Chain A
Amino acid sequence: MNYVLPLIPALPLVAFFITLFLGKWWLKDSAHWIPILAMAGSFVLSVAAFLAIRGEEHAMVVELWRWIPVGDFQVPIAFQLDQLSSVMLLVVTGVGTLIFIYSKGYMHGDPGYYRFFAYLSLFAFSMLMLVLGANYLLLYLGWEAVGLCSYYLIGFYYHKPSAASAGKKAFLTNRVGDFGFGLGVMLIFVTFGSLDYLHVFEAVEHGGTSEGILLAIGLLLFMGAMGKSAQFPLHVWLPDAMEGPTPVSALIHAATMVTAGVYMVARSSVIFASAPTAMLVVGAVGAFTAIFAASIGLVQNDIKRVMAYSTVSQLGYMFMALGIGAWIPAIFHLVTHAFFKALLFLGSGSVIHSLGGEQDMRKMGGLARKIPFTYWTLIAGAFALAGVFPFAGFWSKDEILGMNFKGGGYIIWAVGLIAAFITAFYTFRLIFMTFWGESRMDPEVEKHVHESPWSMVVPLMVLGVLSVGAGALLGIPPEGGLFAKFLEPVFEPANQILGVHHEAFAAIDVILMIVSLAVALSGVALAYVFYVRRPDDLPQKAGAISQPLYKAVLNKWYIDEIYDATIIRLTIDGSRWLWRVVDAGVIDGAVNGVARLWDIAGRIVSPFQTGRVQNYAVVMFVGLFVIVTAVIVF
């Protein structure tokens, strides 16, 4: 393992440098080979790591070198392999490889082809550092680096002003969260004198740390997670991030980077378990975000925006699970979500690709026959997202809802159930609007509709298979499947603190499953009625009846407008005040005042310098006379 682990992030890093420096002049249109091979290599190594850690009680830590040795502040470059990081490795490298392959077809002919793959490789490196790091500082490093790559890739079409500003928005919004995260990391060091996971968690388990400090650490860390994982009220950047190329949306803004917050909270499960209030906040924010974002997803017409809000909503589910200590279901949902949401994004990308760039669902329709591969794989993803038995999303979502119900969180359970209903509705609204019914395409676009190339279809099919089967394979029986058994050692300490004991699969689970399945199916059915049976009048009628609500949802609950009116307005006005009053008045005033002082002094003194030599001579003589006289007399 000593040699395998560092290689996992190193391969994409090497690919990044090669692609960046040779891409423009030499590799050009074959720039995809090195990153794809590197990513596939990382995946193979991740499988090896998975096999090595399976069934192990303790985490493996590989220290490469001391990165920052300053007195008590010792930070090594060290990788930690345990079941949690192993799962993340497999997701990142596995889904990553598929998306790299997909990008070959999707980005074909783009002038920035090599640049795209270089950034993607850098992202893969950063993400792998994030999940492999054995201390909070390495986590922070990876965290910021993925944010940077996200900024690069959102603004990939930098000549488009909307893409450039979406990149900036993502970066700035993340700064707000990262500010808290940074403070949290510092507080951890101040409290425990170390940043290593094992050391910190051991100290927390040992007890003796005041709950107030643990609460502060938990909330600060969660602030970072809110930014990175787009939780309310820092969710605003993710929908705009869809300005980036679709593979980026799939890899970074659905499958991997946005789940970094979930990973971080799960990684810090011991800290959160010791601070129940922090967990309550996590759960409440997650539940609210789940239903809030789902409601916005209901009325969006841009196919990628629907997916974006859906991602925010599903991330809310994961935090909802973390909030009640359902660590394993949260990670399970992270994994299945990575599969089906990557699939949905890539499928949307395939639709957009075959329509020559059209993203508005109102200008689609009737595509099922024309692009059958995309259609069938997207159907699998949609069922998984909607949570229909036996697709992947059903198992993970049901575990989250079930554990909430059994844990007594009835309100959160109900919220989650409503959100699940909305999810099923908007997912199939998307499917029906895009693939069913009459074509609403421009005739010009319609003539050119074509199925995507193999490099795009094959990843879709692989992800489709995973979306269908992964949940059942890993998640049966609920809370006791392969996945849960595998991950148990990591969360054992946190569960001990919480006093959670494992319950056997019982009748209540079956009832809950049937309830959530019924909710999902009714959502699908309602979408069918709305958009297949009566697409011409029912959606408009529903919109008209709930006019104010509809408008609010259509405008994303005016969150952007509220931010504009408050924080941004305040910042701009404050900056203007600083400029006009402080900068121009106080600072410039001080500098100019000093200058004026010398000016006045000069005006007083300069008449003495007449330029006439005789005047100077007189002064000299008089002076000499006085001095000589003084010397003689005294």
Chain B
Amino acid sequence: MVIPIEWYLVLSAFLFAIGAAGVLMRRNLFIVLFSIELMMNAVNINLVGFSRLHENLIGQNFVLFTMTVAAAEAAIGLAIVTALYRNRRTLMVDMFDVMKG
């Protein structure tokens, strides 16, 4: 049977919402970073779903690129987080407010 497009979208929406909630609410920088990954994967699911719907492979191709870039991004992100931790001895996001007006 063909999985209807709505299922993809609902799953994606749930994932995205969880990710967004994590980015907006969690204090730990690691969790925030993972939540961003979650949101990105929600988008990937969307792309795959529509790819199936339209019966072409552009969407799936796109997802492969996204995942590659996401891997690189995660590496850089983790490196920055490590550097931050060495400097500040904390990863609580609300402690990083030197740009306060």
Contacts and interface: CB of A to CB of B under 8 A. Distances in A.
Are A and B interaction partners?
Answer: yes
B93 A612 contact: yes
B93 A611 contact: no
Contacts of B23: 614, 617
A598 to B, nearest CB: 14
Contacts of A612: 93-94, 96-97, 100
A613 B93 contact: yes
B20 A609 contact: no
B99 interface: yes
Interface string B30-44: 001000000000000
B2 interface: no
A611 B20 contact: no
Nearest to A613: B93
Contacts, number: 34
Contact of B24 (A605, A607, A609, A614): A614
A610 B95 CA distance: 11
Interface string B85-101: 00000000110111111
B32 to A, nearest CB: 8
B94 A614 contact: yes
Contacts of A617: 23-24
A606 B100 CA distance: 8
Interface extent on B, as a size class?
10 to 19
B71 to A, nearest CB: 23
A607 B97 CA distance: 12
A370 to B, nearest CB: 89
A608 B32 CA distance: 22
B24 A611 contact: no
A190 interface: no
Contacts of A621: 20, 24
A328 B46 CA distance: 112
Interface string A609-633: 1111110011001000000000000
Nearest to A608: B101
A609 B96 CA distance: 13
A93 to B, nearest CB: 78
Contact of A609 (B25, B32, B94, B100): B100
A168 B42 CA distance: 86
B101 A613 contact: no
Interface in B55-91: none
B96 A613 contact: yes
A609 B98 CA distance: 11
A614 B93 contact: yes
A610 B24 contact: no
Contacts of A605: 101
Nearest to A625: B20
Nearest to A606: B101
Nearest to A609: B101
Nearest to B29: A613
A614 B32 CA distance: 10
Contacts of B100: 609-612
Nearest to A602: B101
A618 B101 contact: no
A200 B32 CA distance: 92
A621 B32 CA distance: 15
Interface string B11-26: 0000000001001110
A612 B97 CA distance: 5
Nearest to B23: A617
A626 to B, nearest CB: 15
Nearest to B20: A621
Interface in A568-614: 605-614
B100 to A, nearest CB: 3
B34 to A, nearest CB: 15
A185 to B, nearest CB: 62
Contact of B99 (A607, A608, A609, A614): A609
Given A614-B23, A621-B24, A607 B101 contact: yes
A163 to B, nearest CB: 61
Nearest to A605: B101
A608 B93 CA distance: 17
A394 B51 CA distance: 124
B77 to A, nearest CB: 13
Contact of A610 (B20, B32, B97): B97
A618 B23 CA distance: 9
A154 B26 CA distance: 85
A624 to B, nearest CB: 10
B59 to A, nearest CB: 21
A607 B98 CA distance: 13
A258 B93 CA distance: 86
Interface string A326-358: 000000000000000000000000000000000
21 contacts: A606-B101, A607-B101, A608-B101, A609-B99, A609-B101, A610-B101, A611-B96, A611-B97, A611-B100, A612-B93, A612-B96, A612-B97, A612-B100, A613-B93, A613-B96, A614-B25, A614-B32, A614-B94, A617-B23, A621-B20, A621-B24
4 closest residue pairs by CB, A with B: A611-B97, A609-B101, A611-B100, A606-B101
Given A612-B94, A612-B97, A614-B23, 17 more contacts: A605-B101, A606-B101, A607-B101, A608-B101, A609-B100, A610-B100, A611-B96, A611-B98, A611-B100, A611-B101, A613-B93, A614-B24, A614-B25, A614-B32, A614-B93, A617-B24, A621-B24
Interface of B: 20, 23-25, 32, 93-94, 96-101
